[in-house]
Amino acid sequence: MSSTELPFVPPATVLPKVAPVRVGEGERIRSVGLPGITLTVRSRPPAREGLPPALYVHGLGGSSQNWSALMEQLEGDVDGEAVDLPGFGDSPPPDDGNYSITAHARAVIRFLDASGRGPVHLFGNSLGGAVSTRVAAVRPDLVRTLTLVSPALPEIRVQRTAVPTGLLAVPGVAGLFTRYSKDWTAEQRVRGVTALCYGDPGRVTPEGFRYAVEEMERRLQLPYFWDAMTRSARGLVNAYTLGGQHALWRQAERVLAPTLLVYGGRDQLVGFRMAQKAARAFRDSRLLTLPEAGHVAMMEYPETVAGAFREFAADGATSDGSVGGSDRRDGSVGASGEGASGDGRDIATASGDGADATTVGS
C-alpha cells in the first residue's frame, strides 16, 4: 500500500463522540444489526396502513437524508425507509472493510431479507443506482419496481467534471486531497459539493444549507469518513471494468422490474447522454429527463419526481397491487425544456420550493 494512501480504519468499539445525525420532523431513526454490518435506517410513518413498502439507497458521500424530501412527498403512496450504506450517514464501517458494489448490494439484500418487507419499490441515486441495479438483477423477488436517479452506470466518455470524483479511487489521491483541503471550512466544502451536484445551487434553502454544514462538520470528525469515500469510489470504478454476467449494463438488461429512469440535463457527474442508453438497456422502462436538474433530482425537484413515480407505479400496477406489464414506456424530455412523459404529460418544467442540501452525495 502506498505511504500516501489512507489505511483501512476497522470498526471501532469506541468511536469519537460526534453530534447526533439530524432527524427531520416526522422521521424516525433506528439501528439494524445484521451479519457483518450495522445499518442506520430512516423512515416516515406511512399516511395509512397497508401501503406498499419502499426502500431508498443514496449515492457516494450521501446518506439517507438525501431522500427526506421525496419520502415526505410519497408518504401517502408508499411505506418508505431509507438506508445509510455501511460507512455512510450514521452507519459504521462494515466489519470486513469491503465497500465494493457487490458488498453494498449484499447489505441491501440482507436488510430486505431480514425485514421481510420485499418486494419493495426500490429507489437508488448515483452509486445507490448501481447498487440497486445489481440488487434488482440478482434478486428480482425483492424488487417490485426500480426507480433510478442519475444511476452511476459505466460510461466510456466520462465528463471532465466527474474526473475528480473518480480520482478518489486512485491510491494516494484521498490522502493528498485531505492535506490540500485541510484548511477548508465545512461551509466551503458544502458550497463545492452543491455546485457539483445541483443544476442550480440557488435552489438550496438557507435552512437546508445550514443543515448540510452541520452534517459536514459531523462527518469530518469520523475517523473512517475518507476511507469509506475512497473505497466506495474504488469499488464503483472496479465495477465499471467487470465483464460478463457481472457487468452493470449486462445486469441492467436482466432487470425484470418496471424501471423509472430519471436524468438531469445539468448533471456534472452522470452524462445526460446516458439516458437513452439506459432506456434501451432496461427492458421495461420509462424515462424522465429534467433539463434544469443536476445529479440529485429527488432533492432538487422532489414534487416532480414523486409525481412521475405515482404515474409510473399506477400504470404498471395490477389489481392485486403487484406491478407487471412488459410495454416499454420511454418518455424523453429534450434539453431545451420541451418534451413529455410517456403518457403525454409535460414534465419538462420543475418548480417548487428550494431544496434541502443535507448530505448531498454523488
What pLDDT is stored for residue 42 in this prediction?
A: 98
**Rounded to whole angstroms, how far apart are CA atoms 191 and 357?**
10
Against a cut of 0.85, is the pTM above it? Answer: no
Closest CA to 362 of 296, 304, 310: 296
Residue 19 has a pLDDT of: 75
**With left for phi above 0 and alpha for psi between -120 and 50, is residue 359 left, alpha or beta?**
left
Q: 358 with 89: CB under 8 angstroms?
A: no
Cell of 342: 410517456
The whole-number pLDDT of residue 239 equals 84
pLDDT tens digits, one per residue of 149-182: 999 998 866 665 554 554 444 455 445 545 545 6
What pLDDT, in 10s, does the model give residues 205-264? 999 999 999 999 999 999 999 899 889 988 888 887 877 778 999 999 999 999 999 999
What residues in the chain have per-residue pLDDT under 70? 1-17, 156-182, 316-362
Q: What is the pLDDT of residue 21?
A: 87
Residue 3 has a pLDDT of: 36
CA 67 – CA 58 distance, rounded (Å) = 8
Which uninterrupted H or E stretch holds 38? strand 37-43
Say how far apart CA 261 and CA 132 lie, in whole Å: 12
Q: Which amino acid is at 323?
A: V
